[in-house]
Amino acid sequence: MLVIKDLRKSYDIGKSKLLVLKGIDLSIDEGEFVSIMGSSGSGKSTLLNIIGILDEKDSGTYELDGYQIEDLTEIKAAEYRSKFLGFIFQSFNLIGYKNALENVALPLYYQNVPRKERNKRALEYLEKVGLAQWAMHLPNELSGGQKQRVAIARALVTNPKVILADEPTGALDSQTTFDIMKLLQEINNEGKTIIVVTHEPDVAAETKRNVILKDGVIESDEFITQRIL
């Protein structure tokens, strides 16, 4: 699904360069559930943003579902994002004046899906995350966990190939974190590829493979032994 080779990325800081990613090799198959860990500032978000075509690499190669992601125009990048990727953020990024249903339906609006079909599909996904009865509520009437469920429904509604989540539980308490990870596991069990960036070992433990970034390279990459319940 995703093949990254010798990926490098730096930022210009005044006159100097900050080398953040110093040669990342990472391949992720369809249906995997991968966590990316590392200390604050280790480049987790930078890597996820490049995977999400929100930022550009300096060098190396990146292939997503067979497409080379290279020198894309902004229009092409937006098209690839819309077609292949669903995003989940720590701060939910819901639109405050739109209700849950409208928030979930929004990506379909940008894909020119007719209104009736948009609302039907948005409601299906709200049902999937257990929030159908909250469809007409505004984000500020929802708890943090509920907001993140709406955001998950919004990420899924276009049926993307890969879900990218940057610290999705960073703003949630431990029980809600666990519930959200259970939901992501269900979604993964249905075949969806998911990549979660986190600094919480408990969150990483709920995924199936853990990649650790350190000093700009992958320090370890291990499949997580499933706990026997």
Binding residues (CB under 5 A) for Mg ion: these are 44-45
Of 52 and 103, which CB lies nearer to Mg ion in the complex structure? 52
Min CB(213)–ligand ADP separation in Å: 7
The entry of Mg ion, ligand ADP, none near residue 42 (CB within 5 to 8 angstroms by kind) is: ligand ADP
Q: Which is nearer to ligand ADP, 42 or 210 (CB)?
A: 42
What does 43 bind: Mg ion, ligand ADP, none (CB cut-off 5 to 8 Å by kind)? ligand ADP
**Minimum separation from the CB atom of position 196 to Mg ion (A):** 12
Minimum distance of Mg ion from residue 40's CB (angstroms): 7
Question: Rounded to the nearest whole angstrom, what is the least distance from the CB of residue 36 to Mg ion in the complex?
Answer: 10
CB nearer to ligand ADP: give 41 or 114.
Answer: 41
Least distance between ligand ADP and beta carbon 18 (Å): 6
Q: Are residues 48 and 89 in contact, defined by beta-carbon separation less than 8 angstroms?
A: no
Q: For binding to ligand ADP (CB under 6 A), which residues are involved? A: 11, 13, 18, 20, 38, 40-46
Q: 216 contacts which partner out of Mg ion, ligand ADP, none, CB within 5 to 8 A by kind?
A: none
Q: Which of the choices ligand ADP, Mg ion, none does residue 41 contact, using the CB cut-off of 5 to 8 A by kind?
A: ligand ADP
Nearest to 196 by CA among 168, 172, 156, 161: 168
